[in-house]
Chain A
Amino acid sequence: MDMAGSGADLEAKAHEIRKMTLEMCARAGTGHVTSGFSCTEVLVALYYGGILRIDPKNPNRSDRDRFILSKGHASVCLYPILADLGFFPRSELDRFCSADGMFGVHLQHQVPGVETTSGSLGHGLGIATGLALAARKRRENHLVVALLGDGECYSGPIWEAALFAGGNRLSNLTAIIDRNCMSATNFTEPTLPLGSLEDKWRAFGWETRRMNGHDFPEIFQALAGIRSFRRSAPLAIIAETVKGKGIEFMSNHCLWHARAPKDQELERARMELNEGGDSYEDPA
């Protein structure tokens, strides 16, 4: 299902998704809002920009592209997208983290449109390598795309998977690393430097690209040709991002990793989003 939109359309969609994420988390009083905002444009590009071939009416069709959200705490941004596309009713967003709801803070495999459970980090890329290998062995042409957090790249299994994918030349696999330079409690570089992720992925046998993860033209430029299997290596795209992008006072503050704004904070967050958006109307 291709849903390519214009740059302006996509920016408006990213804005709408951020608002939906904010309202969903504010209602529940929880959720990793800033982690979701870090990768909003990347998710919007994948789902609305004609990249992923998926079918909301038939979420499990065998020829679908597989998208693995390895940083499963960013589910708060993916769920609004899946609801908006019709994988499940939008009313589910109102029941986020509630007794009669379909999902909670971390990504669940039971939700239509979701491939794997995630929340414990370091699992998604390894599963993606298995999916990519299965596709190659079964001569299936779908893509496998995994979105990782940079903080997740501290965990060993990521590099076990990176070595495996590079060594096996899994050219149908793309990993996007959300490089916001923050993990849960601190900035990555002063804590334990991750350094040049491009150099690291390249050393593991991957082709690498870099992009501004909030700029649609750059995102599409980096994703260009990912469906071409003429590449001989898996592709790692380093998405330079800002954790909490869209709301200034929540951006780049560790305090906001696991918090949803409330009361005056919420009003301020709504105001900032509205000021930044073109045509957004409050869904409430």
Chain B
Amino acid sequence: MKTQRDAFFESLYDIAFQDKDVVLVSADMGAPSLDRFRRDLAHQYVDVGIAEQQAILVATGLSLGGMKAFVYGIGPFVTYRCYEQIRLDLGAMNVPVTIVGVGAGMSYEESGPTHHTTEDISCLRALPNISITNCSDSVMASAMAANSLGLDHPSYVRLDRQAFPVLYRPGHDFSGGLEVLRQGDSLFLVATGNTVHDALALAGELEAHGLRPGVIDVYRFPINPELFREKTKGAKILFTMEEHTLPGGLGSAVAEIIADYGLGLRLKRFGCDFSRGLCYEYGGRRRLQELHGLNPRIMSQTIVDMTRSL
């Protein structure tokens, strides 16, 4: 299986090879798939060192100067660390730089919370003009390299560090921002990024309980509210799943649509509660998920109980 990062950079290499205005700004970050870019397209590769604020600033200047700039780094460092640069220089001025953050959720599992990217969707969702694509497979990651270039606003591509089975066919149209991957009736699991794969597995298991859950992959924020309403028509209860802090994340975004549009749906959010501290546990990503709100057994039981009580 190909990682999202390799898929993205292989695609970006091909684009940059053809378009000499494409430039990649790295904050001392490498990747095997990036070595070829650095070697063959050295003139289009800029390393600012471990200085993510400068990475965003230099990318802003490159973009204002007519180039097509990507900034690459580990998720928390290219989002929270340089939040004001993103807010003012990209968001407020609407400069079409693409930020590429690797390590979605707790995918830098043993590196601890300094490297976990578990608040970025909340943070960036609050800013003007910026779209977020949380990739759930390598086909989507590959498509985002080209997709980002066509945007007239800043964007953030959120990549998982691990490889996952492919969900989409090459050439898939990712303009909608969400996709129903499994049809359901009155119950939907709404997931994003890596949890889409967990939601598909969970939906299969729930059939043993006589349930027919649908699964929706929300890969873009802001969520298209009209499309979301259309795809969840007939639903009575939604369960959101995110490897991300609960305040401001996927569950919050769905709750906003339910509230703002008066949809009258039940909603239960599964995600991380870091209100008493970040994740300093180790022992593999599954364990971290189970400790932080994404225990499959508990989620399954909760879904069964809440659906039956409707």
Contacts and interface: CB of A to CB of B under 8 A. Distances in A.
Q: Do A and B bind each other?
A: yes
Contact of A138 (B48, B54, B65, B88): B65
Nearest to A119: B88
Interface in A120-148: 120, 123, 125-135, 137-138, 140
Given A127-B60, A129-B58, A164-B58, A157 B53 contact: yes
Nearest to A124: B57
B57 A161 contact: yes
A148 B92 CA distance: 21
B93 A130 contact: no
A164 B51 contact: yes
Interface in B49-88: 49, 51, 53-54, 56-67, 69, 84-85, 88
A189 B65 CA distance: 37
A75 interface: no
Nearest to A109: B93
Contacts of B43: 137
Nearest to B61: A130
A113 B67 CA distance: 21
A113 to B, nearest CB: 14
A133 B62 contact: yes
B257 interface: no
A127 B93 CA distance: 12
A128 B49 CA distance: 17
A123 B61 contact: no
B58 A157 contact: no
Contacts of A120: 84, 88
Contacts of B62: 130-131, 133-134
Contact of B65 (A109, A130, A160, A163): A130
B54 A134 contact: no
Q: Which residue among B56, B62, B67, B88 has the maximum number of chain A CB atoms within 10 Å of its CB?
A: B62
A160 B63 contact: no
Contacts, number: 96
Contacts of B67: 134, 137-138
Nearest to B48: A164
Interface string A133-175: 1110110100000000000000011001101100000000000
A127 B88 contact: no
A193 B46 CA distance: 33
B228 to A, nearest CB: 32
What is the interface of chain A mostly: helix, strand, loop, or mixed? helix
A160 B54 contact: yes
B85 A123 contact: yes
B93 A164 contact: no
Contacts of A157: 53-54, 57, 85
Contact of A62 (B49, B51, B58, B66): B66
Contacts of A115: 64
B89 A123 contact: yes
Nearest to B65: A134
B61 A128 contact: yes
A174 B235 CA distance: 61
A117 B66 contact: no
B23 interface: yes
Nearest to B85: A123
A135 B62 CA distance: 8
Interface in B14-51: 21, 23, 43, 46, 48-49, 51
A250 to B, nearest CB: 29
Given A117-B88, A120-B84, A138-B66, A130 B60 contact: yes
A71 to B, nearest CB: 15
B90 to A, nearest CB: 11
A138 B88 CA distance: 26
Contacts of B60: 116, 126-127, 130
A131 B84 contact: no
A64 to B, nearest CB: 11
Contacts of B63: 130
Contacts of A164: 48-49, 51, 54, 58
A117 B93 contact: yes
Contacts of B48: 160, 164
A135 B23 CA distance: 13
Interface of B: 21, 23, 43, 46, 48-49, 51, 53-54, 56-67, 69, 84-85, 88-89, 92-93
Interface of A: 62, 66, 109, 115-117, 120, 123, 125-135, 137-138, 140, 156-157, 160-161, 163-164
Q: Which 3 A-B pairs have the closest CB atoms?
A: A130-B61, A126-B57, A134-B65
24 contacts: A66-B64, A66-B65, A115-B64, A120-B88, A123-B85, A126-B53, A126-B54, A126-B57, A127-B57, A127-B58, A127-B61, A127-B64, A129-B57, A130-B58, A130-B60, A130-B61, A130-B62, A130-B65, A135-B65, A157-B53, A160-B54, A163-B49, A163-B51, A164-B51
